[in-house]
């Protein structure tokens, strides 16, 4: 009864319920009031400019007032009219480390899970990460396929790699990309989806996380990498050493290779696999790990910083420092990569195949990637 009733509660009704609550402390009165309104037309559109967090907070208050305490820790996702757990994250520091604990539930709207290409339901987790306060570069960039790349400030992990391989063969050397022109892994509007164990995680720019940021400003710090260096999104200073220089979109130095694949799946390089890309020094603004030395609003004296970009590698695939063991995806940690439901590391379309497109093509399908414009 709670779900069918509360999915119809609008802000006007919430105000009415809360006003009634102020004058009458009996829970049965609130339930009666709610029932008297459930047949009224929805009027959410009249409050399109309202802060959605405020509306969710009001819904939680009504749940408490109605005596429905078990549901008070949950909020209604108005975009999909479905229940979603609320975000929980804490960040603390000591003299050496920064500690981030979270339930991996985002603090923004998300897509519907499970969906046609991602059969997993989102579940609250108990994640704990440790990062050095003063990270150091190791002197070389290290590939990081077995670890999470980092964690966002809202506690959601960054995990660029998938668990899908050509012909379900992990030894083939051809790993499918989550953001691909040919493969749909059920990503939502935040370039995120859900692990088999229920962990929501980002594969690209977390658009819901940066919705309050303006592109005429330097990117906000959106998270921390496993080596402790900060993560930003797309935009930085044109001159990395001058905070008064213009703001500009920072370009990756990776591009799709030309020609055809010499083995494995064959065919033209098109961005379906991570191995379809190559790093060209100086092609863009960022290095092989999609980062650079720069000043930022949080680090006026300069730091090494990573940038999440809208072109490959999307989320960096390498680290400039040493990954903390708390980001390992091995036994006791998170399962590897993203998943589309194909068993044994294969795509949902079958061995060596691709999923069948819907009427409008693959959800979230993108054109083939190429050399970024200058």
0.75 exceeded by pTM: no
CB atoms within 10 A of CB 243: 13
Region 325-338: what's the mean pLDDT?
Answer: 61
Q: What is the pLDDT of residue 36?
A: 32
Query: Could you tell me the sign of the dihedral formed by the alpha carbons of 255, 258, 260, 263, in that order?
Result: negative
Q: What is the pLDDT of residue 54?
A: 53
Q: Distance (Å, rounded) from C-alpha 252 to C-alpha 131?
A: 25
Map out the domains of the chain as residue ranges: 2-85, 88-374
- Tens digit of pLDDT for each residue in 165-218? 999 999 999 999 999 999 999 999 999 999 999 999 999 999 999 988 888 899
Give the list of residues 6+ apart from residue 173 with CB closer than 8 angstroms, or none: 264, 275
Q: What is the pLDDT of residue 211?
A: 87
Query: What percent of the chain has pLDDT above 90?
Result: 62
Cα angle vertex 83, ends 79, 104, to 5°? Answer: 95
Helix (H, G, I), strand (E, B) or coil at 241: coil
Whether the predicted pLDDT of 31 surpasses 70:
no
- Tens digit of pLDDT for each residue in 78-100? 343 334 489 999 999 999 999 99
Q: What are phi and psi of 273, to 5 degrees?
A: -115, 150
Q: Distance (Å, rounded) from C-alpha 133 to C-alpha 73?
A: 32
- Tens digit of pLDDT for each residue in 299-326? 999 999 999 999 999 999 999 999 999 9
Residue with tokens 């802060």: 51
Q: Distance (Å, rounded) from C-alpha 200 to C-alpha 192?
A: 7
Query: Could you tell me the sign of the dihedral formed by the alpha carbons of 26, 28, 31, 32, in that order?
Result: negative
Question: What are the start-end ranges of the H helices in the chain?
Answer: 2-6, 11-23, 27-35, 52-65
Q: What is the pLDDT of residue 147?
A: 94
The 8-class DSSP code of residue 316 comes to -
- Tens digit of pLDDT for each residue in 102-126? 999 999 999 999 999 999 999 999 9
Are 325 and 316 in contact, with CB atoms under 8 Å apart? no
CB atoms within 10 A of CB 43: 11
Beta-bridged to residue 328, according to DSSP, are 147
* 159/6: higher pLDDT: 159
Whether the predicted pLDDT of 294 surpasses 60:
yes
Whole-number Cα distances in Å, 88 to 117, 234, 268, 368: 27, 26, 44, 37
Q: What is the pLDDT of residue 170?
A: 93
Q: Which of 361, 318, 359 is nearest to 150 (CA)?
A: 318
- Tens digit of pLDDT for each residue in 129-157? 999 999 999 999 999 898 999 999 999 99
Q: Distance (Å, rounded) from C-alpha 307 to C-alpha 31?
A: 49
DSSP output for 165-220: BGGG-TTSS-BBPSS-SS------TTSEEE-TTS-EEESS--TTTTTT--TTSPPP
| Helices and strands of the chain, counted as H and E runs | 4, 19
Q: What is the pLDDT of residue 329?
A: 86
């Amino acid at each position: 009864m709670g779900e069918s009733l509360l999915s119809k509660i609008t802000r006007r009704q919430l105000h009415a319920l809360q006003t009634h609550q102020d004058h009458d402390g009996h829970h049965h009165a609130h339930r009666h009031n709610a029932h008297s309104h459930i047949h009224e037309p929805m009027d959410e559109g009249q409050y399109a400019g309202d802060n959605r967090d405020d509306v969710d907070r009001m819904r939680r208050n009504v749940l408490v007032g109605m005596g429905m305490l078990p549901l008070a820790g949950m909020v209604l996702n108005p975009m999909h009219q479905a229940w979603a757990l609320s975000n929980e994250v804490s960040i603390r520091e000591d003299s050496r480390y920064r500690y981030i604990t979270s339930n991996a539930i985002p603090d923004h709207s998300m897509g519907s899970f499970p969906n046609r290409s991602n059969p997993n339901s989102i579940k609250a987790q108990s994640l704990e990460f440790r990062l050095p306060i003063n990270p150091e570069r190791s002197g070389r960039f290290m590939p990081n396929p077995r670890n999470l790349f980092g964690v966002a400030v809202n506690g959601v992990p960054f995990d660029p790699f998938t668990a899908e391989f050509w012909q379900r063969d992990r030894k083939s050397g051809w790993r499918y990309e989550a953001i691909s022109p040919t493969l749909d892994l059920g990503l939502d509007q935040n370039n995120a989806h859900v692990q088999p164990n229920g962990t929501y995680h980002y594969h690209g720019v977390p658009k819901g996380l940066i919705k309050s940021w303006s592109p005429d400003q330097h990117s906000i710090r959106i998270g921390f990498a496993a080596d402790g260096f900060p993560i930003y999104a797309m935009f930085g200073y044109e001159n990395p050493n001058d905070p008064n220089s213009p703001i500009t979109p920072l370009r990756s130095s990776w591009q799709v290779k030309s020609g055809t694949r010499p083995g494995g799946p064959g065919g033209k390089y098109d961005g379906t696999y991570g191995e379809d890309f190559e790093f060209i020094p100086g092609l863009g603004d960022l290095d092989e790990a999609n980062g650079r030395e720069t000043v930022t609003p949080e680090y006026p004296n300069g730091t090494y910083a990573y940038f999440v970009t809208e072109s490959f590698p999307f989320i960096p695939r390498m680290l400039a420092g040493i990954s903390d063991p708390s980001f390992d995806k091995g036994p006791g940690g998170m399962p590897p990569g993203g998943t589309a439901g194909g068993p044994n590391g294969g795509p949902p379309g079958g061995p060596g195949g691709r999923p069948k497109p819907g009427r409008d093509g693959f959800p979230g399908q993108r054109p083939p990637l190429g050399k970024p414009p200058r």
